[in-house]
Structure 1
Amino acid sequence: MPQTAADYVRIYRKLTAEMREEWGSEREVKIALLSSFTIQPLSEILTVKCLIDGIKPDIYTAPYNQYTQEILDRNSSLYAFKPDIIVLFIDLRTLLGDYYFLPYQLNNTARKTLIFEKLDQLTNLVGILNQNCSAKVMVHNFEMPSFSPLGILESKQEFGIVEAVQLLNQHLRKVWKDNDQVLLFDYQNWCSYYGQHSLCDPKYYYLGDVKLSFEYMPMLCDAYLGYLKPLLGILVKCIVLDLDNTLWGGVLGEDGLEGIRLGPTAEGRPYWEFQKFFLALYQRGIILALNSKNNAAEVKQVLAQHPYMLLREEHFAAERINWLDKAENLRSLAQELNIGLDSMVFIDDDPLNREIVKGSLPEVTVVDLPEDPALYLTTVQQLNIWNVLQFTAEDQQKGQMYTAQRQRKEMLESSASVEDYLSGLGMTAKIHPANTFTIPRIAQMTLKTNQFNLTTRRYEEGQIRAMAASNRYLIAGVQVIDKFGDNGITGLVMVEKGDQRWRIDNFLLSCRVIGRKIEDVMLAYVWEQARQAGVSIIEGEFIPTAKNIPSQDFYVSHGFRHVRTEAQRQIWEFDMRHDFPYPDFIQVIMG
């Protein structure tokens, strides 16, 4: 793996079109970089970083310090490029000009006026971007000044330069808090983490206006990937955890319940706080699973009885506590949870187990833990894989939902037939139109769902909001409730409406409800609405990917006729002269 900026640049220069195709995937993204200073070779480093992570990037770098012109000119190369995400990186020296060095040439009132003028200029530029294109805009906030001419008296000023920049950052956070098209990159926090004084090499700054040292550009690209991944639907759904020397210190089979190291002691605290990290992610909607070579009865005793065990049995959606190969256990867990291997993260202290999983299951993200458990927490905190673009009510209940899923599985195994099982669930499907409350979850599903997803088209909240506000689309989410609990909104249908023909643009199901005929409810709802509108044909599309194989036979098994294939896009039609009823064992309620 490349380590330095020079390593990444060398790889970039050797890249061929064939190598880009081999490294990348169907996940493509167009990135525009707008900066107030020289940022080469940031685009080269970001390209290689993306390819390593299975993303095909196309990157446009605006001319030096031309961000304002690029944004204001609707015929600029920026808009012709049609980016998916725009990075706006303006440094504080450029923003403040001479006042960066001479802030006290202005009185308190004038300094405050200057700050709000700069705030207005920046928000206006971003507002123009929002109007002129649909791209996400990632805006850097500003690093704190590292020097004040007033020295220790800076904190005594009524409106000093440090307070002024703090106020600017605070207002940037407020002004875009409810704008889902704008993401704020906390550059001040990033600078604090790496050490602000080391980030700029004065020699290169004076030679070429390079205000970020080359050696830190790979780290900045890592941070950018933390934004790109959720934008592309690359999300962690499940963290699979080892136990011995991972969630506690020691080996349970040798040390016993009382001998393992866990809790508020020097040896136990690293594991205790490590568990707190995963508990917080569980509460945010990432499911947890166990993969440990241990005796199940002893593990269950620790989960139930150890006073400092934070992760209890109810926190784990599935468990593989046995002496089998951990890679095979991961395959089994993915199958049980009905999720892709590429949405799983494996955490184990044993380098041999990690290498086996890397070799057998390259799709799984394997975290290389350091030998010292004191470094476990910072290692996982630094990863760029945990970000999401939405946090919904369904996420908060995800752990309980998977507990209920285990109960459904037990009921299925004891049922005489699948039909008896489905009837016995007592299912209710609530169909909710797209509105303020449901759109965040609807957008999240388009980004996260891969297996039962007929087109894998990804939409942001703003796009769905605009579509729902028009009369051209029928958009609905389906909430599924049964005797074991509420699954939340787990189905989505988006239909483009025409006079005589409706086209299904997006049709998807969460893995939690696949096989329970919720797809039939959704299709019956579309048929019902189309019949009321006097439609003759419902058109469906299937765009195959490596992951949506489970849904490839959906249209043929539901009475659609294949009419043609256009560049991998299959077109199917349903004749409205045929009926399509709701399943009789599911109660349907219009929300």
Structure 2
Amino acid sequence: MKLNDYINKSRKLSKHKSMKEIKIAFLSTFTINGLGEIMKVLCHDEKINVQTYVGPYGQYAQEILNTSSKLYSFNPNIIFMLFDAEQFLGDFFHFPYRLSADERKGFIDGKLNEIQDLVKTLSKNTDSKMVLNSLLVPHYSSRGIHENKQEKGLRKLIHYFNETLDKMSVNNSQLFIFDFNSFSSKIGHSNLVDRKMHYLGDLRISPQGLVDISKEYMAYIYPLASMTRKCIVLDLDNTLWGGVVGEDGLENIKLGPEKDGKPFMDFQKRILDMFERGIILAINSKNNYDDVKEVFKKHKYMILKEDKFACIKINWQDKVSNMKEISKELNIGLDSFVFFDDDKTNREMIKELLPEVLVVDMPDDPSLYPKTIEDLHVFNAFTLTKEDMKKGEMYAEQKKREDLKLKSTDIKSFLKELKIKTSITEANKFNTPRISQLTQKTNQFNLTTRRYQEEDIKKFSSSEDYIVKCIDVKDRFGDYGITGAVIVKKSKDFWEIDTFLLSCRILGKEIEFGFMKNILDNAKKAGVEVRAEFIPSKKNKPAENFLK
């Protein structure tokens, strides 16, 4: 669809009770008419109802610095800030070499301070997520082929500006930097800019560019709406390799560095990369297991090995039933799944009968398979901890634990064979993001279900009135990572447990008793009693049973 199509469609949108609600604000140095309407349509397609606020043209600083501005009264969940390099840098953009090298560097440092002050003001006055674009490196220079030889030249300084923005975002959980240069490279600079509209209406991004950037902005909307996906479910024949292994045989499937096999090999590399950033993998295939096992073991170009999959359903059962079983075995909802299958009939069946599952419409041309992964934004989250990046591996290890459990005669022998080790540590700058994440995501074994941001955890852990600890768990099959947290409020006569939680992945292993004993032992040494509050929710029955 084109810009006008989105604008027209936005006028006909209707709100439904089941839709999620978010507020999006836009601040910009240039005209962005239509951007809000595009975002409304894209979000509506994902069952998200959006209210938008577009700040006055070029008045981003006034909106941020004036706490009585409409920006703050609108109270957005997320703020997108679009800065054009030419407008933001002013005459310096056109005539940087009127200044000495040191003066050029000083000018850019001044602009960085300006941005830093604006971000600090926003962070102080709102909990909104902030998305600020990096500056586009100009493709033209009056210095021509000598531009890159200039000491502190314009391009080098803009790269420096962008790198400093990245560093700024590392220490601010609210701030994210949208890589405008990567975006320009993806869609092509000629598609990003419409020179005629540039001069007619100060539209620094073309109408089609606004559509394209809106699609990229959805990467921030999915986690904001708690719609992040966790698991990739894969078909095999003509998806992970070309051909049908049961008919063509191991030697004749298309997989490898040659032209017909390269797209499948690259697709597998993309999937493996997702696994290594924490995405869970599963297989849902109508096939003979022995044929597939031979591919896993003997095909030299099979990138994805069997041990990378947390759940494998290779049988002649319908794929809907398999999908439900995968959900049950992994203990994650169908709304966490993304399904890849070359067969349109299978895709349509899943879409119809399991609408919660995101079904990727695979292209007919396998050379486009890798791009299907590149264009998916549904795996993004606002935090990415060490535990997150190991989640795919952890779920694959869980399969080995389940196999051991089946062989064990009773729960005691099973736990003994696991050889569980725990480590309890106080909150620090390294584990604070994970502790915060656990408070926001843990539902079943959570006494109070209180949600805390990183800043809250830092505040508690630096106070003498609180104890904040986490527990790290490992066993013979691997490292679960930080899977539990406790927050205790201290007073003279007693300690009150504000938060006590454990990830569902380690329930049933009696770890909660040892974790609680640590608190009770410390309280005994301090000569105080311990009180625990239970706040019931729809999901935290296991925590209530523990208290009983």
Tell me the TM-score normalized by structure 2. Answer: 0.90
User: Counterpart in 2 of 1:21?
Assistant: 17
Distance in 2 (CA, whole Å) between partners of 1:147 and 1:112 is: 20
User: Counterpart in 2 of 1:9?
Assistant: 7
User: Counterpart in 2 of 1:566?
Assistant: none
Classify the secondary structure of the residue corresponding to 1:436.
coil
Q: Which deviates more, 115-124 or 227-236?
A: 227-236
Offset, 1:222: 2.3
Distance in 1 (CA, whole Å) between partners of 2:55 and 2:434 is: 34
Offset, 1:40: 2.6
User: Counterpart in 2 of 1:315?
Assistant: 308
Identity across matched positions, percent: 43
Offset, 1:108: 4.1
Tell me whether 1:229 sits opposite 2:222 in the alignment. yes
Correspondence for 1:125 among 118, 127, 130: 118
Classify the secondary structure of the residue corresponding to 2:543.
coil
Q: C-alpha offsets along residues 103-156 of structure 1, whole Å, 9 cap, x if unaligned?
A: 444454443332222222122222222333333322111112243334444344
Correspondence for 1:174 among 148, 167, 171: 167
Spell out the pairing of 1:52-131 with structure 2 (5 A cutoff). 52-131=45-124
Spell out the pairing of 1:530-545 with structure 2 (5 A cutoff). 534=528, 537-544=531-538
Offset, 1:352: 1.2
The answer on whether the counterparts of 1:32 and 1:78 sit within 8 Å (CA) in structure 2 is yes
Offset, 1:270: 0.6
Q: Which deviates more, 100-109 or 31-40?
A: 100-109
User: Counterpart in 2 of 1:475?
Assistant: 468
User: Counterpart in 1 of 2:185?
Assistant: 192
Check 1:412–1:155 CA distance in 2 against 1; reply closer, same or farther (3 A cut): closer
Classify the secondary structure of the residue corresponding to 1:40.
coil
The answer on whether the counterparts of 1:407 and 1:484 sit within 8 Å (CA) in structure 2 is yes
Offset, 1:377: 0.6
Check 1:543–1:212 CA distance in 2 against 1; reply closer, same or farther (3 A cut): farther
Classify the secondary structure of the residue corresponding to 2:433.
helix
Q: C-alpha offsets along residues 469-518 of structure 1, whole Å, 9 cap, x if unaligned?
A: 23454433222233444322222334556677877655543332233344
The answer on whether the counterparts of 1:452 and 1:508 sit within 8 Å (CA) in structure 2 is yes
User: Counterpart in 2 of 1:238?
Assistant: 231
Distance in 2 (CA, whole Å) between partners of 1:108 and 1:136 is: 35
Check 1:536–1:163 CA distance in 2 against 1; reply closer, same or farther (3 A cut): closer
Tell me the TM-score normalized by structure 1. Answer: 0.84
The answer on whether the counterparts of 1:235 and 1:448 sit within 8 Å (CA) in structure 2 is no
Classify the secondary structure of the residue corresponding to 1:165.
helix
Q: Which deviates more, 440-449 or 251-260?
A: 440-449
Tell me whether 1:340 sits opposite 2:336 in the alignment. no
Structure 2 residue runs without a partner (length 5+): none
Classify the secondary structure of the residue corresponding to 2:534.
strand
Tell me whether 1:360 sits opposite 2:353 in the alignment. yes
Classify the secondary structure of the residue corresponding to 2:11.
helix
Q: C-alpha offsets along residues 428-475 of structure 1, whole Å, 9 cap, x if unaligned?
A: 443332212322322333455455556665544334223322345443
Spell out the pairing of 1:78-477 with structure 2 (5 A cutoff). 78-231=71-224, 233-418=226-411, 421-422=414-415, 425-449=418-442, 452=445, 458-477=451-470
Q: C-alpha offsets along residues 30-76 of structure 1, whole Å, 9 cap, x if unaligned?
A: 43322112223222322332343344544333222221112222333
Q: C-alpha offsets along residues 503-562 of structure 1, whole Å, 9 cap, x if unaligned?
A: 765554333223334445555555666675745742222343xxxx4x34532x2456xx
The answer on whether the counterparts of 1:504 and 1:540 sit within 8 Å (CA) in structure 2 is no
User: Counterpart in 2 of 1:567?
Assistant: none
Distance in 2 (CA, whole Å) between partners of 1:484 and 1:110 is: 58
Distance in 1 (CA, whole Å) between partners of 2:237 and 2:138 is: 46
The answer on whether the counterparts of 1:253 and 1:294 sit within 8 Å (CA) in structure 2 is yes
Q: Which deviates more, 484-493 or 235-244?
A: 484-493
Check 1:385–1:454 CA distance in 2 against 1; reply closer, same or farther (3 A cut): farther
Check 1:194–1:505 CA distance in 2 against 1; reply closer, same or farther (3 A cut): farther
The answer on whether the counterparts of 2:233 and 2:337 sit within 8 Å (CA) in structure 1 is yes
Offset, 1:365: 1.7
Distance in 2 (CA, whole Å) between partners of 1:538 and 1:475 is: 15
The answer on whether the counterparts of 1:247 and 1:274 sit within 8 Å (CA) in structure 2 is yes
Check 1:188–1:399 CA distance in 2 against 1; reply closer, same or farther (3 A cut): closer
The answer on whether the counterparts of 1:115 and 1:168 sit within 8 Å (CA) in structure 2 is yes
Classify the secondary structure of the residue corresponding to 2:535.
strand
Offset, 1:344: 1.7
The answer on whether the counterparts of 1:317 and 1:403 sit within 8 Å (CA) in structure 2 is yes
Structure 1 residue runs without a partner (length 5+): 561-591
Q: C-alpha offsets along residues 366-387 of structure 1, whole Å, 9 cap, x if unaligned?
A: 1111110001111211211233
How many residue pairs end up in the alignment?
547
The answer on whether the counterparts of 2:427 and 2:470 sit within 8 Å (CA) in structure 1 is yes
The answer on whether the counterparts of 1:92 and 1:143 sit within 8 Å (CA) in structure 2 is yes
The answer on whether the counterparts of 1:339 and 1:511 sit within 8 Å (CA) in structure 2 is no
Distance in 2 (CA, whole Å) between partners of 1:203 and 1:91 is: 17
User: Counterpart in 1 of 2:543?
Assistant: 554
Check 1:524–1:400 CA distance in 2 against 1; reply closer, same or farther (3 A cut): same
The answer on whether the counterparts of 2:520 and 2:530 sit within 8 Å (CA) in structure 1 is no
The answer on whether the counterparts of 2:237 and 2:244 sit within 8 Å (CA) in structure 1 is yes
Classify the secondary structure of the residue corresponding to 2:25.
strand
Check 1:200–1:530 CA distance in 2 against 1; reply closer, same or farther (3 A cut): farther
Check 1:509–1:10 CA distance in 2 against 1; reply closer, same or farther (3 A cut): farther
Q: Which deviates more, 83-92 or 276-285?
A: 83-92
Classify the secondary structure of the residue corresponding to 1:14.
coil
The answer on whether the counterparts of 2:448 and 2:533 sit within 8 Å (CA) in structure 1 is no
Please provide the CA RMSD for this pair.
Answer: 2.9
The answer on whether the counterparts of 1:181 and 1:462 sit within 8 Å (CA) in structure 2 is no
The answer on whether the counterparts of 1:234 and 1:448 sit within 8 Å (CA) in structure 2 is no
